[in-house]
Structure 1
Amino acid sequence: MKPYLPFLGTIVVLLLIGLIYGCVLPYNPPEIKQAQSYLVVEGSLNLSPSAISEIQLSRTQNIGEKEAPNMEQRAIVRVEGDKGSSFNFREYQPGKYQLGAASYAPNEQFRLFIKTTNGKEYRSAYVPVIKTPAIDSITYRLLTNNEGVKININTHDPSNNTRFYRWNFEETWEYRAPLFSGYEIINNEIIPRSEQIELCWPTRKSTKITLGSSINLSQDVIQDVPITEVTALSGKLARKYSILVTQYGLSQEEFEYWTAIAKTNESTGGLFDPQPSQVTGNITCLTDSEEIVFGFFNATTPTQQRIFITENLGRNTLADQACAPLDTLPTHEIIKQAKEAPFLVLIEFPVPGSVIPWYTTGSIACSDCRHIGATNKRPSYWR
């Protein structure tokens, strides 16, 4: 079975999870006895000021299925507090439900309630609000021979209450296309380009599970936990690179849940590989106690910090070296060929004695920075 979750990956039951080492308790989930479409729940109640909460619902699939997983649409999604609070989520995309900023009473606990269109009801256990301490610092150091950078995080909780942590990150970097395209073809005419497509900012979200615990320490202090390594060969460090790290305080139960997920992924080699175990979480089906549900609901106040790195590593990438202009042609030939094969017009090329303008062309991959899945709109936080 495979759920549509960045962290759960593809769930297949081949064996039970063994003992988890360190400070983590054994996790022994029930066995799946037959292939079935199970509900997968991802998300949390974010109680930081002005924060948006999101819950995503999908269905597991058989290992051989290649189509995109089915999203659970038109469900009733609600968070209930043990002191009377009730928050209704709104479906803004198929299977994705959102809630605007919410307030809560001191010491209030929350649970998630879901009712699907087939009439089945699901509910999580009550969970306390975990108040996440601020990130102290995000640091980095150069790898050997300037082959990249290693990024670490430092944090602490003066009250010694958190003890269990999880981090994820979002990285953005500045990318300049190897070739400059100054012209475009509009209505069979070659005219100056209306917007630049040379400079872009790709953004990627992490798929790693990074956990930390200070449970065996006298103080709740986390020092130099590796978040990620960025290599020079990736091209991300060639100009300017930024990483936004989000920190979550966890309960011990949720820490054990994510540890089980992480250990499962280590044994299979990736988040989306077939999983040799079943990790369910704290959500159950009210209408069928035997039905398995995947996911862990929590209520938290995550904290974030962003840093910029300008080491200018990896400028001469193989991709850049492979980019060269394709051809130089007169106007009418460019317009004719553009209808047959995609390319971009780079610059005007003066040809002595010709009354017809000639232009140099280049491939889209080498000339349009948006080709790698990036935006050419400068992010508001970029500096």
Structure 2
Amino acid sequence: MKNSLVKIGSWVLVLLAGGCVDPYRPPEISDPNTYLVVNGFFDSAPGATTTIQLSWSQNLTDSKPPTAETNARLTIESAHNATYSLTEKSAGVYSLSGVTAQPGETYRLHIQTASGLTYYSDYVPVTMSPAIDSISWQVENDGVQINVNTHDPQNTTHYYRWEYDETWEYTAAYYSLFVYNDTNRTIDRRNEDVFNCWGSSNSRNIRVHSTVRLSQDIVSQFPLIAIPGSSIKFQSKYSILVRQYALSQAGYEYYDQLAKITQNIGSIFDPQPSQITGNIHSTNDPTNLALGFFWAGSVTSQRIFIRKSQLPGWVTITGDGYCDTDTLTAEQIRDSPTGIVSEYIPSPPLPPPYAYLTAPLACIDCRLKGGITKKPDFWK
């Protein structure tokens, strides 16, 4: 029996080729098998674009991006023989526009790779997500806990999954008026704002929940994310966009198991590695596994904003370290370029050349913390 450890994006998946216990072998980490990874779903919202991404699993120690599966042929097929072809828009990313999944119908995904491998998903029903009732938050344990609330008045959904996108506004420690020009070796007036930035991140963990055991299909205060109060996310203003998906029972079981074996690792009480591949199968060779779960349905979403004025007086950690300033002449800056805050004119004033008030680059250029200076269109 041979085990395989593979990496799918930010998830690590352990595949067992059998059911018995086998000793851990380090070579499996450096030489895993490669499997097709399928990420995407058939979006049933009117006017929506369906996107399916194909890539290949990679070595746990491989730092390069996953290899995209290009030039594949993808179709979505209904149980009543309707066929819709997807078009490759970028490397490994295939899309379909102008087609809406019909409630009550079932669909499957058909993949033919460039090398001739063929895969089919199981037929899946169309699952319609109810609206999100609210995204709530409260101060808790010196931080902010964000929760989601929803319900299905028809009492038919029962299985839910959530993803989210975070965005936050922040600033550098100092406003910079000048910049060192490497080409001309001069100090020029800065013509761009590098003081205000917006950072962003996406959900990493799998968040699923079931209401099957409840008498009503209600989700109340389900925890999505906890953010420390010292986070740079709360320096000025924070926003989170939450997307909600309704799942079939099979889809819920897949994501629930995937969450358990990828997120709860580290103690003897955590779930043991197990085989979990999804609902996509190879017709060329049943042992040639595909990783992923194809489904069809709608997405509902809601966004909230949290302002710093709504929170306790936390001191946020910006990651600047020590933003000590120094006074350097132009010649000194040329010898050791640094961030320039402003012109420094002592009192009483001295004749030129003036010195400049300087600080580490990370203290004057907010982009060095990973953000961008363009304000998002949705930002209030």
- TM-score normalised according to structure 1 size: 0.85
1:244-267 Cα distance to aligned partner (Å, 9 max, x none):
111000000000001111111243
1:141-186 Cα distance to aligned partner (Å, 9 max, x none):
1114xx1111111101111111100111111111111122122234
* Distance in 2, Cα, partners of 1:101 & 1:143: 45
1:47-79 Cα distance to aligned partner (Å, 9 max, x none):
223333222222223444444432222211222
**Correspondence for 2:91 among 91, 94, 105:** 94
Q: Say which SS state the counterpart of residue 382 (structure 1) adopts.
A: coil
1:138 alignment partner in structure 2: 135
Decide whether the 8 Å contact of 2:162 with 2:243 is kept in 1: yes
1:264-320 Cα distance to aligned partner (Å, 9 max, x none):
1243259xxxx8222101000112223211110011101000111123453353735
Aligned 1:117-136 pairs, distance under 5 A: 117-136=114-133
1:31 alignment partner in structure 2: none
**Correspondence for 1:2 among 2, 6, 28:** 6
Q: Say which SS state the counterpart of residue 233 (structure 1) adopts.
A: coil
Aligned 1:270-349 pairs, distance under 5 A: 276-310=273-307, 311-313=310-312, 314-317=314-317, 319=319, 322-325=322-325, 327-338=326-337, 343-349=338-344
* Distance in 1, Cα, partners of 2:58 & 2:176: 44
Decide whether the 8 Å contact of 2:319 with 2:369 is kept in 1: no
Q: Say which SS state the counterpart of residue 42 (structure 2) adopts.
A: strand
Q: Aligned partner of 1:317: which letter?
A: I
* Distance in 2, Cα, partners of 1:233 & 1:178: 15
Decide whether the 8 Å contact of 1:348 with 1:360 is kept in 2: yes
Q: What displacement does 1:321 show?
A: 6.1
Gaps of 5+ in 2: 21-30
Q: Aligned partner of 2:213: which letter?
A: N
Q: Say which SS state the counterpart of residue 353 (structure 1) adopts.
A: coil
- Further displaced range: 193-202 or 62-71: 62-71
Decide whether the 8 Å contact of 1:235 with 1:315 is kept in 2: no
Q: Aligned partner of 2:324: which letter?
A: A
Q: Aligned partner of 1:209: which letter?
A: I
- Further displaced range: 151-160 or 363-372: 363-372
Q: Aligned partner of 1:281: which letter?
A: G
Q: Say which SS state the counterpart of residue 158 (structure 1) adopts.
A: coil
Q: What displacement does 1:337 show?
A: 3.0
2:176 alignment partner in structure 1: 181
Number of matched pairs: 356
* Distance in 2, Cα, partners of 1:14 & 1:362: 57
Q: Aligned partner of 1:205: which letter?
A: N
Q: Say which SS state the counterpart of residue 360 (structure 1) adopts.
A: strand
1:155 alignment partner in structure 2: 150
- Further displaced range: 210-219 or 177-186: 177-186
Distance 1:117 1:35, change over 3 A: same
Q: Say which SS state the counterpart of residue 36 (structure 1) adopts.
A: coil
* Distance in 2, Cα, partners of 1:302 & 1:97: 19
Give aligned-pair identity as a percent. 37
2:41 alignment partner in structure 1: 44
Distance 1:5 1:63, change over 3 A: closer
Distance 1:101 1:255, change over 3 A: same
Question: Does residue 220 of structure 1 match 2:220?
Answer: no
Gaps of 5+ in 1: 18-33
Q: Say which SS state the counterpart of residue 3 (structure 1) adopts.
A: strand
Q: Higher relative CO (CA 8 A, sep ≥ 6), structure 1 or 2?
A: 1
1:372 alignment partner in structure 2: 369
* Distance in 2, Cα, partners of 1:128 & 1:100: 20
Q: What displacement does 1:198 show?
A: 0.9
- TM-score normalised according to structure 2 size: 0.86
Q: Say which SS state the counterpart of residue 297 (structure 1) adopts.
A: coil
Q: Aligned partner of 1:3: which letter?
A: K
**Correspondence for 1:201 among 198, 202, 209:** 198
